[in-house]
């Protein structure tokens, strides 16, 4: 945590004055990346080695839904609605999420 704090403090002090909001986003990304690397070094649970690429499908799908939404629609409410439906459609179509997963998730809260 101390290392992440230091990285965030240094990155914010360098990037924010020069790049404003984008600098803050970059500093945050750098901090999270450092946390991830440190966590992976100290973790006790093994990462999946055979299907590790699945970890990247969710963010890529979200990025594609956002791109499609921004490219083909106008207005904030419409963009959010389209992005949500495109994202859910892509997630179900690519079989990243199944109906039985939804039922399993619901059973956790009952």
Distance from C-alpha of 62 to C-alpha of 81, rounded to nearest angstrom: 13
Q: Cβ atoms within 10 A of the Cβ of 69, count?
A: 19
Cβ-based burial of 65 (10 A; exposed 0-12, middle 13-18, buried ≥19): buried
Q: What would the pLDDT profile of 50-93 be if each residue is shown by its tens digit?
A: 666 777 788 888 999 999 999 999 999 999 999 999 998 888 88
Q: What would the pLDDT profile of 14-50 be if each residue is shown by its tens digit?
A: 999 999 999 999 999 999 999 988 888 887 766 666 6
Instruction: Determine phi and psi for 102, rounding to 5 degrees.
Output: -65, -40
Confidence of residue 97 (pLDDT cuts 50, 70, 90): confident
Contact 70, 79 (CB under 8 A): yes
Distance from C-alpha of 74 to C-alpha of 15, rounded to nearest angstrom: 31
Confidence of residue 105 (pLDDT cuts 50, 70, 90): confident
pTM of the model: 0.51
């Amino acid at each position: 945590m101390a290392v992440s704090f230091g990285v965030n403090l240094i990155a914010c002090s360098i990037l924010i004055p020069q790049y404003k909001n984008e600098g803050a986003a970059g500093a945050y990304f750098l901090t999270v990346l450092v946390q991830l690397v440190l966590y992976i070094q100290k973790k006790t649970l093994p990462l999946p080695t055979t299907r590790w690429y699945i970890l990247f499908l969710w963010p890529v799908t979200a990025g594609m839904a956002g791109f499609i939404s921004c490219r083909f629609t106008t207005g904030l409410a419409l963009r959010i609605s389209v992005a949500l439906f495109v994202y859910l459609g892509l997630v179900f179509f690519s079989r990243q999420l199944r109906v039985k997963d939804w039922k399993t998730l619901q059973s956790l809260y009952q």
